[in-house]
Structure 1
Amino acid sequence: MSAVLSTVVDYVGHGESGAPKRPSWNVLHSSAPTPSGSSLSVQPVPTSTSDAAPEEFEMEGGLSSPVEDPELRLPNRGSLVMMIATNVLLQFAFFVTVSSAALYAEYLGGSALFAGLTIGIPTVFSGLALIPLAKYDQGRYSLPLKVVYISIILGSILHAVAYKANFLYLILMGRIVSGLGFTGFLYSKRYCSDPRIIGIRRRTTLASWLVLGQAFGFSVGPFIGGLLYKIGFANEVFNGYTSPGWVTSLVTVLFMIASLYLFKDVPKPHRVPSSNSVEGADAASTSASGIPAEVAISVGQLTRQQWGVIVAMCWSSMSCFFILGSWEANIPVFTAAAFNYTPYAAGNFIALGGIATVPFLLASVRYSPRFQDRATLATGSAIGTTGLVLALILLATDRVVFGSFYVCWVLVALGFNLASTCTLSLLSKQLPGAWNARTSLAIQYSNYSGRVTGAVLGGAGVQMGMKNYIAVQIGVVGVGALLHLTFWKQLKAKTG
């Protein structure tokens, strides 16, 4: 009996403990199933000619049939890229109006507070739309994506025509309609933690990609908005105030066309009754198609520790977007008063801070799956809080200059973007897969509440006093730190 070595390469690999090493950098470059066994296997050569044909074909190709590791599962590559790219589009659409929002509102008779309201109000209506949309989506994504694209197109057009109509509240109406499209924030997060298509050791990596897109969106959005304001185009249809809306609507049309060809939806959920087992629930049962069945448990089956983790993650998620949203809304107003910045300069300031975080967030895509989510959350919160404390010191000593304020913004943007990568991924690892829709809703509502209140706080920051403005943010982070320390042991989850 002779033997040959298979050429199958187990790109996951195994360490001494037998735990798989998790690749993360090339997570979007391969959707092939990952073998879970050793990279070397001995294949006996059949002695019977009649039995040899199928195995000889396999041997000549040098490949054996791999066994999919459910913890490293990935969906269709085109669908995954489309969903992550849509998240970038939504971030861009949300922030492209930030640079000129205050002046646009002022031109039509509004105030800086009204401008902050136009930045934050979309999330209110997005939150209102989530529950009825989730009722009819049937656990799938094609219908929500259509709602996302159509709403962004219509809302952006309404925002643009407010200038020609000379009607202030048309800006608000446009942002409200766009808010229906921002329900896509939920679906991008839910897709990247959906146990039917995403393995448990892929979720932090994909969450890091979403946050990288988030950083790109809030960097490029204000920059493009400020650039369009500077270019101007002196006519009533396409000018510095209206061009962000027209550009966003055009780009969204292209995305909608691309999604028709690239995005493949997931099967409908398949539920089975089970206990409240968490880590083993996602792989406990599968449907006939090979898609994991959702394990249904009731709210009453959750333990106190699980409820503690839910509260801690929701608060952390809220605080991250509360602080990021308040800074993004406040920077154009504060820099106009302190440094006499135009919307173009303010947009550049926001963008430069966001761009500075990109290398670090790219590194987090590569390395964060190696660390506990709770450690990433603590590290990001610490970095962001350092920026807040430094800003408070500078304001108290009246030493705010471009360089020092820029450092504060970079630390805040980096820290709280990094912290936001792991809130949903950690929660999805703590609860059964059947709860993915609920946990996604909980985290998204936390994000929305943070964005709304943060945008309003940022617009009113100069009026209420900048030191008070920063102190409120530090207090919010302090509550999150207390929850984090209280439930530190319960926040332990699988890496990846």
Structure 2
Amino acid sequence: MSTSVLSTVVDYVAHGESVPQRPSWAVLHSNAPTLDGSSLSVVQPTEEPAEQIELQESLAGTPSPEDDPEFRLPSMGSLAMVIATNALLQFGFFVTVSSAAQYAEYLGGSAVFSGLTIGIPAVFSGLTLIPLARYDGGRYSFPLTISYLALIVGSILHAVAYKAHLLYLILMGRIVSGIAFTGFLYIKRYCSDPRIIGIRRRTTLASWLVLGQAFGFSVGPFVGGLLYKFGFSNDIFNGYTSPGWVTAVLTLFFMAGSVYLFKDVPKPTRPPSTSNSVEVGTPVTQEEELGLHQLTLPQWGVILSMCWSSMSCFFILGSWEANIPIFTAAAFNYTPYAAGNFIALGGIATVPFLLASVRYSPRFQDRTTLALGSAIGLAGLALALILLAAERVVFGSFYVCWVLVALGFNLASTCTLSLLSKQLPNAWNGRTSLAIQYSNYCGRVTGALLGGAGVQMGMKNYIGVQLGVVGVGVLLHLTFWKQLKAKTG
């Protein structure tokens, strides 16, 4: 048989054609001798059953998950570094929470000032994002390096305030740390970047980020409270300063590790004239992707709903984390160590559920996860208000409220950016990341201030404000429920 038959068969298998090409006229009438005996012979393939041919043809047109761009992932080293950095930044944000009020009081500040030190990093992080986003070049190594350096310097400034006995040096250290927390934006953007992350991987990665978030707000206050319990043997490393020194050393190791593990994305090119918009609107051209006026009314509704949800999640979580050390000190005579343990125990209780979310949430609609998380968190707030009104607040009941709030709003926060990134064109990934991150910052700042003032304004009023914020989100979800439908995964 002619060698051109071999070429035809090989080409068919290699290129996955669903219909084999007909042999040429020269092949059909070839007089080439066939080899027999000990020689290699080429035998005509036997006819396959129709069912097997149908199966092969269907599989030929279906890419495997590894080849499907909707399931795309970057290198494991880079992904692990990004997820671990998220946990580090969350730790750095919350490690000072348990002793913030005591530290501020020692240096002459108030409980409201301690709330300011918890929330102020988000303000300066948001201000820093504006120039940083102009010079990042659509890449990640430079912004992450800035985050590491700023967290080291800010943590050291926070630590040396004790020796210098300067209240506003705490604030300065937290402001510098705020520059480090720009990394939250780049981590979120990395985990929804269409150049390296497929559309069906974004909810899974968002769940991993929220797991790191749970690590930060549980382990951070616990470690801070534990370090406070070590005592005050000297003016350099003591219960108030040790969280800063520990965070600085940890960040130094992370910075060194990123040099070897993290591989940046290629320099960006102009996106193709396609859109990954799902269920909302229609595909748009490359020029139309860049115009705000091209967004449809349902898309604007989705943006508003997701930004409000993101803001409200961090508003409530931030207010509880700032309020718990102050409220428990007044209600239960808790020390910063005990308050840190209380926060940590609530966070640890959410971890099994968030781990389950990593595995199972990709099977469900993001809007379903958002509704479930909001409902759980709302139940925690309502229970807290009932207990406060009945004056029945004890350790067990208050702990249940905290677990429900922490679980619900952490779970709800998993899907805000992933859902928004699925609804809008790929070219909008940077804008959607900024919108969600600024919403987070707004919630963190206002929530920390509310938490610091919660006891002064009255705890029932404090919970009532949070219920009003969640209520607005519920109305938005119900209004745009149909438009929130998107691909799972």
TM more than 0.5:
yes
- Name which of 358, 362, 366 aligns with 2:355: 362
Out of 420, 431, 454, the position equivalent to 1:461 is 454
Q: Which residue of 2 aligns with 1:13?
A: none
* Distance change in 2, residues 1:111/1:188 (3 Å): same
Q: TM-score, normalised by structure 1?
A: 0.84
- Name the amino acid aligned to 1:436: N
Equivalent residue runs for 1:364-383 within 5 Å = 364-383=357-376
Q: For the residues of structure 1 that align with 2:96 and 2:434, how far apart are their CA atoms?
A: 26
In the other structure, the counterpart of 2:52 is none
| AA matched with 1:69 | D
Q: Does 1:440 align with 2:433?
A: yes
Shift of 1:273: 6.2
Aligned residue in 1 for 2:55: none
Aligned pairs (5 A) from 1:124-163: 124-163=123-162
User: Which residue does 1:312 correspond to in 2?
Assistant: 305
Q: Is residue 204 from structure 1 mapped to residue 203 from structure 2 by the alignment?
A: yes
Q: Give secondary structure in 1 for the equivalent of 2:328.
A: helix
Partner SS for 2:486: coil
Q: Does 1:72 align with 2:71?
A: yes
Distance 1:277 1:206, change over 3 A: closer
Deviation, 1:279, is: 4.1
**Residue 258 of structure 1: aligned partner:** 257
Structure-2 separation of matches of 1:224 and 1:295:
50
Q: TM-score, normalised by structure 2?
A: 0.85
Inter-CA distance 295–211: structure 2 relative to 1 (3 Å threshold): farther
Instruction: Tell whether the 8 Å contact from 2:221 to 2:343 is kept in structure 1 after alignment.
Output: yes
Match of residue 494 from structure 1: 487
Q: How far off its partner does 1:272 sit?
A: 4.0
CA contact (8 A) 1:273 1:295 kept: no
Secondary structure of 2:399's match? Answer: helix
| d(CA) in 1 for partners of 2:188, 2:129 | 13
Task: Give 1:311 deviation, angstroms.
Answer: 0.3
Distance 1:221 1:304 in 2: 41
What do residues 185-216 of structure 1 show as CA deviations (whole Å, max 9, x unaligned)? 10110000000000000000000000000001
For 1:207 and 1:401, the matched residues in 2 are separated by: 35
Q: Are 2:279 and 2:485, in contact at CA under 8 Å, matched by a contact in 1?
A: no
Write out per-residue CA displacement over residues 86-105 of structure 1, whole angstroms, 9 at most, x where no aligned residue. 00000000000000000000
The structure with the largest alpha-carbon Rg is 2
- Once the two structures are superposed, residues 339-378 of structure 1 have per-residue CA deviations (whole angstroms, 9 ceiling, x without a partner) of 0000000000000000000000000001000000000000
Offset from partner CA, 1:363-404 (integer Å, 9 cap, x none): 000100000000000000000000000000000000000000
For 1:72, the aligned partner's letter is: F
Q: Which amino acid aligns with 1:147?
A: I
Structure 2 runs not aligned, ≥5 long? 2-15, 21-33, 43-59
- Structure 1 segments of 4 or more deviating over 4 A? 47-50, 64-67
Partner of 1:82: 81
Offset from partner CA, 1:299-357 (integer Å, 9 cap, x none):
11110000000000000000000000000000000000000000000000000000000
User: 2:224 — aligned with what?
Assistant: 225
Give distance in 2, aligned partners of 1:230 and 1:491: 47
> Aligned residue for 2:445?
452
Shift of 1:295: 8.7
Structure 1 residue 298: deviation in Å? 1.3
Partner residue of 1:91?
A: 90
| Structure 2 residue matching 1:271: 3-state secondary structure | coil
Structure 2: how far apart are the matches of 1:175 and 1:486? 39
User: What corresponds to 1:411 in structure 2?
Assistant: 404
- Residue type of the partner of 1:234? S
1:330 aligns with 2:330: no
The aligned length equals 434
Q: 1:297 Cα shift? A: 3.0
Looking at secondary structure, tell me which structure has more helix per residue: 2
- Structure 1 position 301 matched with structure 2 position 294: yes
Contact between 1:273 and 1:296, CA under 8 Å: does it hold in 2? no
One-letter amino acid of the structure 1 residue matched with residue 143 of structure 2: P
Q: Does 1:388 align with 2:381?
A: yes
CA deviations over 1:162-185 (Å, ceiling 9, x no partner): 000000000000000000000011
Whether 1:430 and 2:423 are equivalent positions in the alignment is: yes
Residue type of the alignment partner of 1:418: L
